[in-house]
Chains A and B, each alone.
Chain A
Amino acid sequence: MSFLTYLKDGISLGSVYAIIALGYTMVYGIAKMLNFAHGDVIMVGAYVVLMLLTKAGVPGILAVLIAMAVCTVLGITIEKVAYRPLRKASSPLAVLITAIGVSYLLQNIALLLFGADGKTFVDVIKLPSLSFGDGALIISGTTIVTILACIIIMVCLTLFVNKTRQGHAMQAVSEDKDAAQLMGVNVNGTISLTFAIGSALAAIAGVLLCSAYPIVTPYTGAMPGIKAFVAAVFGGIGSIPGAMIGGILLGVIEILSKAYISSQVADAIVFGVLIVVLLVKPTGLFGRNIQEKV
């Protein structure tokens, strides 16, 4: 395979990481917590789509929309039941440990419902491939949709956060919850909205991931979740363009490592890059070094 093919695969996988990382980074930016169950919401989205398509015969697009709705409700519920009561806990570790617990809970519920065996994902994206240079580079319909989805989501989120009233409210909550309340911003509502957006994006990521790597297991979301978290930190946690660039870079590094170095150590290289970036620039590529006047 040629370098261009690997690069394309890397960008495609990276786009999925980027979409997941957006959820991580937004939740971190607003609620100041790492939602380690975020990866498992992807798995839930993938199973919902799979069940709707195979058991209920629902058309693809509708199945994706339903999965987004299910994950949105799931995300809001997790925040309300598991995280909100701990928001004022004296140690931020309380909510972190709870998030890990929620992650295992989701994985084990899936294990109970669907068993440990991988289920073959069905084709949701039915688009023809594009061929360049007499078949030297073939870009599948899934890849095209994945990259386009990533770009569209990133543009929409950036516009939403920077141009809308609700987006400004989010930034206000992110910076200073009490001051935001004094403006009349409902902090709980804004945090719920953030979880809703992140979880809906996770559902999309689930469909895209399983379209490219078509096996669903209860642990499908775990590793991509961790890598997307790495991508978010890599790009500068809290930053939307950071999550996007971090995700794509991570995907490209992973695929190129697998292709040219070794598929066994690819993950070690990915995490090694993170360590190097954090040593050189602790706030990540796009992290803000805020200097405020007093």
Chain B
Amino acid sequence: MAMLEVNDLHVYYGVIHALRGISFKVDRGEVIALIGANGAGKTTTLQTITGLLPAKQGSVIFEGKDITKIPAHKIVKMGIAHVPEGRRVFSQLSVYDNLKLGAFTRNDKTEIEESLNMVYQRFPRLMERKDQRAGTLSGGEQQMLAMGRALMSKPRLIVMDEPSMGLSPIFVNEIFDIIKVVSESGTTVLLVEQNANKALSIADRAYVMETGEITMEGAAEDLLHDEAVQKAYLGE
């Protein structure tokens, strides 16, 4: 059984039909990339999975449970963390308080402390800046904070929306290295990326989205060498 199953999902923004019946699945331990142009519906897909947007039709099944109608604040506790587009860190709160909020649904103090140490180990920069207001961090550091904050909920599935957007090439590489580490430590990853090249290089499988529909799917390696994909998304 797949860990996450999206079946015939339809989502509307007012009268705009943003998702036109998409279906895909994510197996435990995989890194799945969702690629496509701006406005294809990638962010909408993630937001519907984590409950920020309501589905008009279709279902989202996570670990065998139908979570389509479950509100966003209850999804985290079920094991899905969402790193939103544009990082969305709480700029007025300290780095430390941001991370503590990531563990909002957890109660065991010693376990939270363990997760905190794990995050600091993975992102030493966050440790150095733990008392600083999140709004004063650089874009790359904020991205690390957004990822660290998501990891604080100890998710089994982490969905990430454009983690490399607006970052310098050095940070982009660093962020993708971390995604690999997160995956290797046993967390399943669903990744939305404009940087299709990078995304396909670390993903196991990928789906290509176009105007609210999935138009192609396959092993990441195959898509990376597919002529149509190269032409449309890899800029070659």
Contact = CB atoms under 8 A, between A and B. Distances in A.
Contact of B137 (A175, A181, A184, A293): A293
Contacts of A184: 73-74, 76-77, 104-105, 153
B21 interface: no
B59 interface: no
Contacts of B51: 181
A178 B48 CA distance: 12
Contacts of A117: none
Interface stretch (B84-92, B120-128, B205-213, B216-224): B84-92
B93 A171 contact: yes
A182 B82 contact: yes
Contacts of A180: 101
A138 interface: no
Given A165-B104, A183-B101, A293-B139, A171 B73 contact: no
A20 B187 CA distance: 48
Interface in B17-75: 50-52, 71-74
Contacts of A294: 139, 166
Interface size class of B (residues with CB under 8 A): 20 to 34
Given A181-B52, A184-B77, A184-B153, A292 B100 contact: no
A43 to B, nearest CB: 34
Interface size class of A (residues with CB under 8 A): 20 to 34
A183 B104 contact: yes
Contact of B92 (A165, A169, A175, A185): A175
Given A182-B82, A293-B137, A176 B88 contact: yes
B97 interface: yes
A205 B89 CA distance: 36
Contacts of A187: 73
A178 B101 contact: no
A56 interface: no
B10 interface: no
A172 B72 contact: no
B36 to A, nearest CB: 22
Interface of A: 165, 168-169, 171-172, 175-176, 178-187, 288, 290-294
28 contacts: A165-B100, A168-B93, A168-B100, A168-B101, A169-B101, A171-B92, A172-B93, A175-B91, A176-B88, A181-B51, A181-B52, A181-B71, A181-B72, A182-B50, A182-B72, A183-B105, A183-B149, A184-B104, A184-B105, A185-B73, A186-B73, A187-B73, A290-B91, A292-B91, A292-B135, A293-B137, A293-B139, A294-B166
